[in-house]
Each structure stands twice: as C-alpha cells, then as structure tokens.
Amino acid sequence: MQDRWDPSLAFDDPLDECVYGSRLIGSDPYLVLHGGGNTSVKAPWTDVTGEEIDALYVKGSGWDLGSIEAAGFAPLPLSRLRRLLELDELSDPDMVASLSAARLDPSAPQPSVESLLHAILPHRAVLHSHADVIVTLTNLADGEARVREALGDDVVIVPYVMPGYDLAKVVSRMWPQHGRPDTRGMVLMNHGLFTFADTTREAYARHVDLITRAEEYLDRHAPLATDDTATLPDVDPADLARLRRRISAAAGAPMIVTRHRNPMVARFVSRPDLESLARRGPLTPDHIIRTKRIPLVGTDVDAFVSEYRAYFERNEGRSEMELTMLDPAPRVVLDRRLGMLTVGRRPADADIAADIYHHTIPVLERAEDHLGGYVALGEGELFDVEYWDLEQAKLRRAGSPPPMAGRVAVVTGAASGIGRACAAELLSRGAAVIGIDISPDVAGTFDGPAWLGVEADVTDPDAVAAALTAGVERFGGVDMAVLAAGIFGGSRPVADLDPDEWRRVQAVNVDSAAHLLSRLHPLLTESPASPSVVVVASRNVPAPGKGAAAYSASKAALTQLARVTALEWAEDGIRVNIVHPDAVFDTGLWTPELLAERAAKYGLTVEEYKRRNLLSVEVTSATVAGVVAELLSERFSATTGAQIPIDGGSERVI
C-alpha cells in the first residue's frame, strides 16, 4: 500500500489531522467503498463555561470518509461512553438513542454505530477500513490462521460479531487479554481492519504497514489473475430492455440496469464454478444493502424472487420485531452472455453495486483458486444485517425517490436550446437521460451518473443505433423520448427554393425522426414505466409564415408522423404527443443582433418583442421543457395524439 501522507504537513489540531487521515483512507476504493469505514480521535472538548471534557470525535453517519470535514465528526464524552459499556446489555436502538443524546454538540451528525468500539481502544487515534486484502484473508475456512500468518502477532483477531453494542462488548472483554503495548491493529473477521496509535499519522502508518503485509502475502500465495483477453459479445438492446422490465416488475418500480463487460467480468462469468462461487455471499455484511446477499446467476428473475422469498421466510423469526420483506429483485446479475448487470433505483445506486462487485470478483478468484476456497458468513448472520434497523436507516436517510426515478429518457438536440432544457428538466425530476446531439459538447453538457451524452448526427442511422445501444447498456432500456433535434434552414420564398437546402431540412426534421421512432419502438414496448414520446414541432404547423416553406413543411410532416405513430402505438400502451413552441428566443437561433433587428422592425424594445403574444409572457426553453416533462409524466397517462401550443397565445393559431 502506498503511503500517501504528505510529510510536509503539520497539524496543531488533532481533529484536523484526523480529517486528513480519514480522507486518505476514504479516497482509496481498495480500502473503503461508499460510506464504509470510520475513524475517530480523542481530544478535549471545551464547553461554553470553559470546562474541558475528554471527548471522542467519531465519524458521523452519512458522511463519506473520502470527503469528510471536521463538521462530519460527532463529539461525545468518553466517560459517558464507557459507562454505557458497563451495562450487561443494550439494544441497538437504545444504543443509537444514547449516543445521539450524548452529543456535546447537538448540531453534530448522528455518531457511528461503532462509536463504543472506538471508545474502548486505549489510543487517541483510530482508523477502520474494509480493505480488500484483509477481507480476502478473513473469508477463508482457515481465515484466522491466514491472518496470523500474513500479519504476525501484533494484531488482535476478533471473531465475527454483528456491529453495534455486542461487538463493542466482545472487544472490551478481549482487549485486556490479547491487547499488548506493541499491538498495531485489530482484524475483525469478515469485516475489516482497525489500526490505532497516539496520532492519526501513526495510525495511518500502521494501516499502510499491515495492508502491505497482507498484499505481499497474497502476492506470494494467491497472485491476481492477469488474463485480460476474455471478451463478451454484443447483444440486442431489446434483450437488455426485456430483462430490465422483469427486474423492475420484481422490484415494484422502474429500475436502472447497467451492463458491464470488461475483461475481468468476462473472465469471471466464464468460470465453470460461477454459480457455486458467486452465490456464497458478500465480502462483508456492509455490502448486503447494496448488492443483496447473492447475485442472480443467469437471467431467471422469477426463480431469484422465489428464492429470496423463501430466504426471508426462513429467517424472519430471527428478529423479535415484525419485519416487512424488502423488494426481492436482484441487484447484481451474472450471466455468461451478458456479463455483469448491476441494478439500482438510480444510476448512482447501480454504480455503487458495480463498484462493490468489481472489488468482489478478484477476492473470490484469489480465495477460490489459491487459498482453499472462499467462505462467507452464514445466511442467518447476513440476514441479520440486511434487516438490521440500523442498516435500513441508511436507506431511509436517502428519502423518497424523485418522481421519475428509475425512468430513462432519450433526448435529441440535447446540447442546446429546447433539447438541452428538456434534458435538464428530466434530470431534475430524477430521470436518467441519454442525450444525443451532433455537437461534441454533448458529452459534458451535464455532470453526474444520470447523464450520458452521445455525439451523433441524427441523420446517420448507424450513429443513432450506436447511441441507443450505448444508452441501453448504461441504463437498461428506454421509457421516454423527446424528439427535439431540428434546424430552421435558410429563409427564402418558394419561387427561389434550393433543392439541396430543402432536402437537408427534411432530413434533419422529419427523416431522422422517422428512423429514430422505428428504432425506439422495440425498446419502448419493453418499458416498465408507462412509455411515452413527445415530439417538438412548431407554431409554423398551424400558422406558417412567409419564407419558411422548408421548415414549415418539415414540421407539418413531423406532426403527421407523430399522429400516425400515436394511432399505431396506442395498442402497445405508448403515448405520443406533440408540442408547438413559438418565439423561444433563448436558443442558438436567436442572437442579440437578430433580436434587436426584429424588435426594431415592429417598433418595439427587445423585451416587448419577446412578449408579443396574447398573454404578454416570455416563452423560454425552460417553459417548453416543463410542458414536455408533464406530458411524459403519469399525469398525462390518458393522453395521446394531443397537440399543445406553447406560444403565449397566438391569434393566428387560436
């Protein structure tokens, strides 16, 4: 393990040093994944009277170690924590309530559920991670012996105990017997590594030392697989969309499904023992709320659901409380043809499951191929964590999903103007968006896991097909589409029409839409979420103007295309509606100079010209996007074939 501590740094405040060390640990995915791990430092707390209190500053729940700040640590009085450990027993809800009440700063975050364990250890600074190499050693039939052989005698090894009060009590009993002045760390079986020292710098150095020992041991006895030649075939996007629909039905909500087929995944799914190995359980129970206990091997979703229900029924009696079964849909799918699919309510959730399983695969391979076989915790112990109220609280803190969570939209012309505004509105409502545009800027138009910008000319059928394939492999399918790509073309009377310009406008505004709709149909029919399409036409359809023959004719043809599509696709449950914007001046078509010229022609100011409609309102791209998003939403589930003007009211249209 590389020691990334900057030796030039000096810290006067032990909490600042703890923040720095926490970020080093948290920013390394081989140590900590997605909220895992925790850290602490013992330092004085000064109250409003000036009295100093011996305190434990411990990572707060909900904070990510990779980006934590001082505000992410909850200060707790050490004396209170140690008194809690004198109790014979304490339920986890009572422990959490006691820790919350003990905060010296009531505005601090809720303390980590492992706060009492940090308080027990007789060191000022404590770091805890779920390092891949450590959990590799602990998930073996002879795990304790392997840990001792790899790390030596200066670690305390603790058998698996569920985190919380019980674990803290076990460590409080073990430490006086096994802890020594030269003890450098503590390994929790099937869980992870603790190191501790007088300073965070020393605790970090011990982390580096022990993980390096584990790496060197594994390199000698269990070298990583290096064959990166395995490949997986292309698949029909409709096959992925069909599987997503079945997974979503099992989950009771539309889900994002992302395909992964890198060489490591391709190698792993080709193993003859794939089903046996993959179904043994996660590296650490912390992963179970993201990945479920086991992945689906193959594509039989119904069988996985039945098995999950049976698993719940076998184990629900382990809890004294009445439990409600979580949705039984898989979160990881492993298939010899498809590779690995990861599932989540949002793209970020699917990505978290992917990150975890990308780290799981090499651990499984090393353990199974070189170390006597991979052994995870038993089913009952994993169930206890999956249905542990404190773990469920992590999911509840995320809140209710936004209205379009799990839904996937395709938006053309997404890098600018109305298309960009539609993409922004759909993203704000929780949708994942595949944005297609001829501009190379489309890739970076928006940030975040819910956006996939693909550079493609909508008049190029192969490029559009490739864009849809990329989008389906990223998100699993398509539920909504906004056809916003279009051009105005040159303005000239019919007597002077340029045939090439006429064809160019028709190709972009009509022909490309016809092709895209034909490619979307097999995907939309597999949508789990009320599939719908909105076509962006123009006020020029009901009220054309002079000099715009090519544009007006193309938008009229586009409107007819959409109407016929609405008629044909209704039997598939797919809605198709049309909007007719006008005078949308915040697009690339309108420069300040052109606006000034047009306003002057009518003897108006620019602002007056923008509001030259019956309602005297300005129509913006965002105005159009709001209507488009509503048409795509469930509120218009009984509407198809509609044509809605978005023009502030036009006498010519009305």
- DSSP line for 578-597: EEEE----SSTT--HHHHHH
DSSP letter, residue 494: G
For residues 587, 588, 592, 596, the Cα torsion angle rounded to the nearest 10 degrees is: -70
Tokens of 280: 């043994």
Out of 204, 551, 602, 609, the active site residue is 551
What is the Cα Rg of the chain in Å?
30
Q: How far apart are CA 489 and CA 15, in angstroms?
A: 63
Q: How far apart are CA 282 and CA 359, in angstroms?
A: 11
Q: Which residues pair with 548 in a beta bridge?
A: 492
**CA-wise closest residue to 245 among 433, 466, 523, 518:** 523
Please report, as a single letter, which amino acid is at residue 180: R
Residues constituting the chain: 654
Q: Which residues pair with 57 in a beta bridge?
A: 41, 75
- DSSP line for 82-145: HHHTTSS---HHHHHHHHHHH-SSTTSPPBPTTHHHHHHSSSSEEEEE--HHHHHHHSBTTHHH
Q: How far apart are CA 254 and CA 554, in angstroms?
A: 35
Contact status, residue 156 vs residue 179, Cβ threshold 8 Å:
yes
Q: How far apart are CA 435 and CA 413, in angstroms?
A: 7
Tokens of 21: 């060390």
Q: Which residues pair with 410 in a beta bridge?
A: 434, 481
Contact status, residue 366 vs residue 302, Cβ threshold 8 Å:
no
- Please indicate whether residue 160 is annotated as part of the active site: no
Tokens of 552: 């007006």
Q: Which positions are annotated as active-site residues?
A: 551
